[in-house]
Structure 1
Amino acid sequence: MDVVFDEAAARVLKEEEWWFESEEGSLLKWHWPIGLLYDNHSISLSTKQSASSSQVTPLRLILHLASPPTDKLLLSPSAESCKQAFMGQMKEADFIRWGNTKRMTGLRKAEQDGLWEGIKEHNFDEYWRVASKVTPTTTPTRSQSPPPPPSSTSMHTRPPSADPSTNGGPDRDGPRSPILEDGTLPSRASDHSVRPLRPDLRPGSTHTLARFLTTRLPLLFPSPESGQSNLACAFIQGVPAPHDTEMAWLGACMAGADGWVNVCVGLQRDGAARY
């Protein structure tokens, strides 16, 4: 801001009144990860670009210096507010995944602070040192396995209570949230979408992304029995997600730092995903 304003003008600015807006007029929520903001921006273009356009528009930001729409931003633009939102998301994900928040509340205060500090300071080894105690993994640790390299703890270690051999594994596939092109959250806006229940599956079958999308957004993702084509496509962490992907795998490998799998849903035109 020193480049734009002189010293006198800079003194009257209040950081707590700053807020960001995209060039298209979408408010950017402080507590959303930047990758999720960009994914949401990208899928929103699927209704605004022409069918022949394949160019991805950069996310251009407009910084406002006053009059923040607090009713839409939800949080004040402070590090403490973002920290509280992040920790709240971690605890919510912990409850939905395991049915309780014992793993999060069982952490020492220094460990809980370490989760946030690791993200804030880009010290991901510090983050995973603690996160590996509360998040699911893809494979259990074997006694004969070599020590995992730095930054990969989460993929090779499993909390004892999460090991299937202890009968303490999760009875859910992990917290997930579909996000539509206008930034709405249909899954988490309704109580029945986030209640910690195992989906009704036949013995031997798995809970897939296709089943989740058909259940939550049936108009966009009709059931295979209907013979209708999908009208939308799903993106997770910027990647078009195959619909036969297991939800448990997504929860272990594609969740964000807050423990949530954010599924962005964009329109599909002419048989191709618009992103």
Structure 2
Amino acid sequence: MTAPQNPITRAIWDGTLPIKFSLDSAEAAELGAKVLVEPYFLEAPRCSYFPLLTSQIRKYFVDMTNMALNFIGDDAEIWYDVDGIPLKWHYPIGLLYDLHTGYRPDSNSPPPLPWPVTVHFKNFPIDKLIRAQAIDATQDFFMSMIKEADFLRNGSTKKVMNLSKNDQTQLLDGLWSSFSQKYRTENYDRFWSINYRLVTNDGQLPKHIPLRIYLPDNCPVIQEPIAPSDENGNQLTLGDVLHQILPELFPSPLPTENAFAAPVIHGVIPQLNIPILWASQNLCYPDNFLHIVVLLET
């Protein structure tokens, strides 16, 4: 089955980030590296997750440093940080980049690319990161997000739970295999031919929009029940929603000159007048949430 042709969801699916993975220098010395360990460069899909990259990153640094395999085995909990801040492995890579670089696309400065990420093999920060970042755990977390999005739309998870085993497998395999550039189109069709029915809610107006808002300085994630329209049946826009939830940062639902705050979705500042339902259906991540990073002028 072929996915409906949507150039927007396809462009999001094809979006990538060049990343520079560097082994923590103190750990490299402690683990016995005798020379400078060269970084590992990788072009990663924005919609992917770090645990899907871990096996090749582990192999590279084990080979480069001649680490003892019994010390850095398949069950070692590799983790990543940027500027000393641990990266939440259950967040999509593109979301982490938008959140941690603080890069505003409307600024005159160039984006921080390749994105410098530090790799750790030791001292897993159990007070900051969820453990069990194996592939199975990542799949489970991803499916829990799909179910949560379905619950927000319908008040139940019936649409997801009613997917056949084959459909669920196709959904996961399509995303999990998206790292392969060679099969990117095939995997897009596999994933979106199933997910399209969930995102569009089979043509029914959803009760609420699956939406999360992220603020700087490690503020708690904002997730509130947002209807797609007001009490008069008028469609709400992205600006309406931001003004409703964050009136101090967005004093008007309309664009204003010299705006202090800017919403970023997939590395782009969207127009505030787009309908929030359209944004949810076209700009969501594969977990079916509309993830919005709010960046402030510095």
* TM-score normalized with structure 2 length: 0.68
The Cα of 1:94 is off from its aligned counterpart by 0.6
Q: Which residue of the other structure, out of 52, 66, 86, is the alignment partner of 1:27? A: 86
CA separation in 2, counterparts of 1:216 and 1:169? 21
Equivalent residue, structure 2, for 1:135:
199
| Counterpart secondary structure, 1:82 | helix
The alpha carbon displacement at 1:85 in A equals 0.7
Q: CA deviation at 1:28?
A: 1.0
Instruction: Please report how far the alpha carbon of residue 93 of structure 1 lies from its aligned counterpart in structure 2 after TM superposition.
Output: 0.4
Partner of 1:245: 274
CA distance in 2, matches of 1:118, 1:104: 16
Query: Residue 111 of structure 2: which of 56, 69, 76 is its match?
Result: 56
Quick one: distance in 1 between partners of 2:117 and 2:157?
Answer: 37
Question: TM-score, normalised to structure 1's length?
Answer: 0.73
Residue 210 (str. 1) matches residue 274 (str. 2): no
User: Does residue 187 of structure 1 match 2:222?
Assistant: yes
1:221 and 2:281 matched: no
Kindly indicate whether residue 167 of structure 2 is the aligned counterpart of residue 111 of structure 1: yes
Partner of 2:188: 124
Q: Distance in 1 between matches of 2:265 and 2:205?
A: 24
Counterparts of 1:261 and 1:56, CA distance in 2: 23
**Which residue in the other structure is 2:76 paired with?**
16
Tell me what 2:125 maps to.
69
- In angstroms, what is the RMSD of aligned CA positions? 2.5
SS for the counterpart of 1:3 is: helix
Q: Return the alpha-carbon distance in structure 2 between the equivalents of residues 135 and 128 of structure 1.
A: 9
Q: How many angstroms apart in 2 are the aligned matches of 1:229 and 1:5?
A: 50
Q: CA deviation at 1:57?
A: 1.8
Give the structure 2 partner of residue 40 of structure 1: 99
Deviations 1:148-173 (A, max 9, x none): xxxxxxxxxxx6xx33xxxx43233x
**Identity across matched positions, percent:** 29
Letter in 1 for 2:250: F
| Residues 75, 82 of structure 1: 8 Å contact kept | no
> What are the superposed Cα offsets for residues 27-70 of structure 1, whole Å, 9 maximum, x if unpaired?
11111111111111232x57xxxxx9713223211111012112
- 2-side partners of 1:213 and 1:246: how far apart? 12
Partners of 2:282 and 2:229 lie apart in 1 by: 23
In the TM superposition, what whole-angstrom CA distance separates every residue of 1:125-160 from its partner, at most 9, and x where no partner exists?
Answer: 211122122111xxxxxxxxxxxxxxxxxxxxxx6x
* 1:92 aligned onto 2:148: yes
CA contact (8 A) 1:222 1:230 kept: no
| Unpaired segments ≥5 residues, structure 1 | 47-51, 137-158, 270-275
Residue-pair matches, total? 225
Q: In the alignment, is residue 170 of structure 1 matched against residue 206 of structure 2?
A: yes
What do the CA deviations read for 1:177-235 (whole angstroms, capped 9, x no partner)? 111123544313xxxx13xx63672535321111111121122111369x997421001
